[in-house]
Amino acid sequence: MRSKIRIGALISGGGTNLQAIIDACEAGTIDGRIVFVGADTPAAKGLERAKRHGIPTFMVDYGDIIRRCKETPEALTLPADGDIAAIMAKQSLLGPTAPAEKARLFIATRMVAEAGLLAAMAEYRPDLLVLAGFMRNLTPYFIDRFNTDPGYPRIMNIHPALLPAFPGVDGYGDTFRYGCKVGGCTVHFIDYGEDSGPIIGQRSFVIEESDTLESVKKKGLALEWQLYPQCIQWFAENRLQVVTMTYTLDDGRIAQRRVVRVAQPEK
Ligand code: GAR
């Protein structure tokens, strides 16, 4: 029997994806178990789902941290192991035109919150971290401390759109308002940008004229609940590998693309 991977989950909301992952672990369709569920807000209703299944929970109140840092920026204590200048140079969440002071405060507040997450997570020693409706971007401070082997990413996210279309906080809304004929969802490893990491899996659905934003969300979520457990199981089976592939452009130059290869299952 394959050994079970230890999965940590971060959420912000109702946690229906979390529920799908819990159910898949309990049913044995994911060779894993959830070792903690963390949230960025006390309002995350999904914490109750975790508690019902006996899963340890914690909460790092991002809103409160950001408010306090804005009120008294001089009282802000950055984590001792983080070099904010290096982290700002690495991240691609904020463009080069972002006002410097604002960008610094954004990264500083996230670093403080992320140090809280890392401290809360440490005792559970997760193999994989899944973002299941976690509505915060993680900075290189957090990512580099969790992804200790650069060739082996271990943080997954689910996004409610067919990336790279419609990154951000309202994927289904953006898809619907644009008048798209298809919508979908994407599971990807995270990198230093917003919803920009290598894609592991995608599912799509048709959008009819008669659809509403509500029905689009319903179609999308139903696919998310299938796709996320599937991608997590691939990880558990050690079948995922991020590869850089080269191809030739029309003018003969060589270009590269990043692809997540899903290996055949072991016999
Ligand atoms: C899901 O639709 C997920 O794709 C989305 O939030 C929802 C969470 O629902 N995530 C993002 O938008 C991340 N940027 P849930 O709490 O019921 O799983």
What count of residues does the chain have?
267
| Residue range 153-208, pLDDT digits in tens | 999 999 999 999 999 999 999 999 999 999 999 999 999 999 999 999 999 999 99
Extents of the domains making up the chain: 5-238
pLDDT at residue 95 in the model? 84
Cα 217 to middle of ligand 1, angstroms = 10
| Residue range 200-245, pLDDT digits in tens | 999 999 999 999 999 999 999 999 999 999 999 999 999 999 999 9
Active site residue 53: no
The answer to whether 108 and 69 are in contact (CB under 8 A) is yes
CA distance 39 to 12: 5
Cα 34 to middle of ligand 1, angstroms = 18
Pocket of ligand 1 contains residue 13 by CB under 6 Å:
yes
- For residue 150, whether the previous peptide bond is cis, meaning omega lies within 30 degrees of 0, is no
Q: In this structure, what are the phi and psi dihedrals at residue 219, rounded to the nearest 5 degrees?
A: -60, -45
Cα 54 to middle of ligand 1, angstroms = 23
Which superfamily, per CATH, for 5-238? Formyl transferase, N-terminal domain (3.40.50.170)
List alpha helices for 162-212, DSSP H. Answer: 171-178
pLDDT at position 2 over 90: no
pLDDT at residue 1 in the model? 63
Catalytic residue, from 49, 110, 154, 159: name it: 159
| Residue range 61-107, pLDDT digits in tens | 999 999 998 899 888 899 999 999 999 999 989 888 888 888 899 99
With both helix axes pointing from N to C terminus, report the angle between 213-236 and 171-178 in degrees, rounded to the nearest 10.
130
Q: Whose CA is nearest to atom 10 of ligand 1?
A: 133
DSSP state of 28: T
Q: Whose CA is nearest to atom 16 of ligand 1?
A: 15
